[in-house]
Structure 1
C-alpha cells in the first residue's frame, strides 16, 4: 500500500471510530484479518509417503473422496517422497544422477489420485515430504544436503518444475504446491532422533525463491505454500514478500500430539500422562499457551499472507478424551481466525478411520472403523 493511500485509510478509520465508537474499529480489524487462502479442511493422504513404493499404503479409493466430500471436507494434502516416483536400483543408496530418473508410470498414479480428488471438488496440495537433500524423517539416505549443496537445490527445482508443468493449466483453486515438509537443520540428516533447529532465514529464502521461480516459470498464477521453519512451527518472515503462503502445524504441545511416539521421543514409555488443561510434568498446559503459540500465525494473516495448517492431530496413544479436548481448542483458535486445517491422516493411526485407539467405541463404516467423535469435532469447524 502506498503511503498516501495508507494515510487516507488511517484518516477515514479515525473519523469512523470517533463517530461510531469501538464497534467500527472491531469490524475493521475483523475485515483486515481475512485470510488470503480459503479455509480448507481435510486430510493428508499417505499413498506416496514412503520412498519405496513396495512399502506404501493401500491406494486411496474414489469412494473415499466421496465420503470426504459428503462429510463436508474440501482439501487433501499429498506428502510425497520423491524416490516413490523414480526409477533406480533400490538395493543401494541413490546417486545424484538417479534423482532425475522419473518413473512415468508412478507419476501417472499420482495424476489419477489428483483427478479423483478434483472429480469430487476437493483441492489437492502436492507436497514434497522428502525432497532431494532433505527430509524431517529418517529411512532413506540422501546423496547431498538441500541447505548447503547447489546440486541438491538444482534437483529440488527440477522436481517442482516437472509438477508445475504437469499441472500448468489447472486452476489454483484446484491445486497448490507445498514446497517442503517441515524444514529444519539437523545434526545428522540420517538420524531419526537428531536435534532440530531453524533453517537460517536467508537460506530458507534462497531455496523457496528458487523453487517458486521454477514453478511459476510454467504458470505465474500457480499457488505456492511454504511450511513454517523449525519443523513447521514458526513463521518465516524472510519470505513474506514472495507471494508464498505459509503452513503451520497443529501439534503443540508434543507431549499431547505425540504421546509415546517412538520416532519423536527418546524415552516414550516414561512420558507423563497428558491432561488438557492441567499440569503435565513441569508445564501447565492450557488454551492460553496455544493462543500464544498461534499469535505469530494470526499476525501473518493480518499482514496479508495466506496461512493454512497443513498437518494436525494426535497419535493413537493419547487418551481420546484428552485429545478431543485439546484438539477442539486448536481447531477453534485456527478457524476463528480464518485458518483451515488438514488432519494427519485420513486412514491410519492419526486418522478418523482405522486409528487403532484402545479407548474408542468405533462405528463400522464400509469395512473400516470410524471414530465418529473425532469426525463430529472436525465437522464442527
Structure 2
C-alpha cells in the first residue's frame, strides 16, 4: 500500500464507518479518468439558423474574451448545413443543392473559429442540422439520414469538407460533433411526430462512415457523437470506434424546458417545477439525476471520452428552482470529470440577456448579466 492509500485508509478507520459521511467518502474516492478534457464553456448560435438572413447578432471578439477571462475554455458551434450553402432559402432544398457550398459563408465560420482559437478556446463544430436530420423541424429535409444512402453520402461530404479545412489543426483546438441529438422520427419534417431510438447498427453505420470521412484528412482528428434518443442515452454500439460521446444536461425536461413550445405539445398546462419536490406524478431529486448519469459515468470508466455538449434551462423555469437543480447537475458531471457547455452564451438559456422575469441582473457592458448563474458555472 502506498502512502496516499494508507492515509486514506487510516482516515476512514479513525472516523469509524458510522461517522464517515457520504460526502467524505465520495471525496476520497479516486475520480474516473475522462479521456476528454474537462472542457467548460458555451454554445454559440451564430450559424444555428438554416437561413443566414434570419440569424441572430453574431458573437464578437469581446464576447470570446469575456468567456476566456471568466475561466472557460470551450465553445461549441451548432451549425445548420443550409446556412453555408448557396441556395434560394425561400424554396425547399433539393438533394443536389445540398452540395452547393458557399465559400464566403464558410469563411465567416472559419473567422469565428480562428478568433476563438486566438483566445485559447477549444472549438467543437457540430451539425445541429445535418442532411436528412434535425431535432427541430422548420426546414424541409428532402431525405432521411438514418434510412437513405443519399443523405449519408451528403453527410459524409460535409464532414470531409470541414475536416479538410482544419486538416492541420490540433485535436486540442478543434473537434467534430457529428449530429445533434439523434433520434428516429416518423416524419422528419414534423416537430411533434413520433420519435424512437436510432437502432444501434444504424447509428454505428452513420457514425463510422462520417468518422472515416473526417479521419481520411487527419487520422488524429477528434470525433464526438451525441447520445441516442436526443442525446440522453449512451451508444454502446460505437465504443470500439475511438469516438467520444456527448450527453445532455436537460433531465428532467419539466425543469429544463418548462413551457417551451418546441418541446411540449401543451406548454401552458404543465405542473409547476420544483427541485427537489413532487411534480406531477414524479418526485424529482438528485437521486433521479444520479441514476440518469450512471451509464455515462460507467462509459468514462470504460475509457470512452464523455462531454456534456448542452445543458441549461429555458427562462420560464423559476430561477431558484433552476439554480438548485443545475447545482446538482453540474456537481454530478464535474465530480466525474465530465465537462459541459451551457446552451447558450447570450439569449434565453444564457448568462447574458436571458430575459428572465425573476432575476436581478447586473449591468455588463450594456448586457444583462445573470451573475448567480455565471458564478455557479465558474466554480465547477
TM-score, scaled relative to structure 2: 0.93
- 2:123 counterpart SS class: strand
Separation (CA, whole Å) in 1 of partners of 2:334 and 2:204: 28
Aligned to 1:5: none
Do residues 30 (structure 1) and 46 (structure 2) align? Answer: no
* Deviations 1:259-279 (CA, angstroms, capped at 9, x unpaired): 000110011111011000000
Aligned to 1:67: 66
Cα offset for 1:30? 2.2
Aligned to 2:191: 192
- 2:87 counterpart SS class: coil
Aligned to 1:293: 292
Aligned to 1:254: 253
Aligned to 1:165: 164
Separation (CA, whole Å) in 1 of partners of 2:329 and 2:253: 13
Cα offset for 1:91? 2.4
Cα offset for 1:187? 1.4
Q: Mapping of 1:322-337 within 5 angstroms?
A: 322-337=321-336
Separation (CA, whole Å) in 1 of partners of 2:289 and 2:347: 26
Aligned to 1:202: 201
Q: Mapping of 1:13-52 within 5 angstroms?
A: 30=30, 33-52=32-51
Aligned length: 364
Separation (CA, whole Å) in 1 of partners of 2:75 and 2:228: 22
Instruction: Give runs of ≥4 in structure 1 deviating > 2 Å.
Output: 20-23, 25-31
Aligned to 2:20: none
Cα offset for 1:27? 10
Cα offset for 1:192? 1.3
Q: Mapping of 1:66-105 within 5 angstroms?
A: 66-105=65-104
Cα offset for 1:195? 2.4
Aligned to 1:239: 238
Do residues 57 (structure 1) and 59 (structure 2) align? Answer: no
Aligned to 2:218: 219
Separation (CA, whole Å) in 1 of partners of 2:330 and 2:29: 21
Separation (CA, whole Å) in 2 of partners of 1:189 and 1:364: 42
Separation (CA, whole Å) in 2 of partners of 1:113 and 1:362: 28
**Over aligned residues, Cα RMSD in angstroms?**
1.8
Separation (CA, whole Å) in 1 of partners of 2:148 and 2:262: 27
Separation (CA, whole Å) in 2 of partners of 1:303 and 1:200: 22
Q: Which runs of 5 or more residues in structure 1 are unaligned?
A: 1-11
Q: Mapping of 1:313-328 within 5 angstroms?
A: 313-328=312-327
Q: Which runs of 5 or more residues in structure 2 are unaligned?
A: 13-24
TM-score, scaled relative to structure 1: 0.93
Cα offset for 1:28? 11
CA 1:22–1:53: 2 relative to 1, 3 Å:
same
Aligned to 2:305: 306
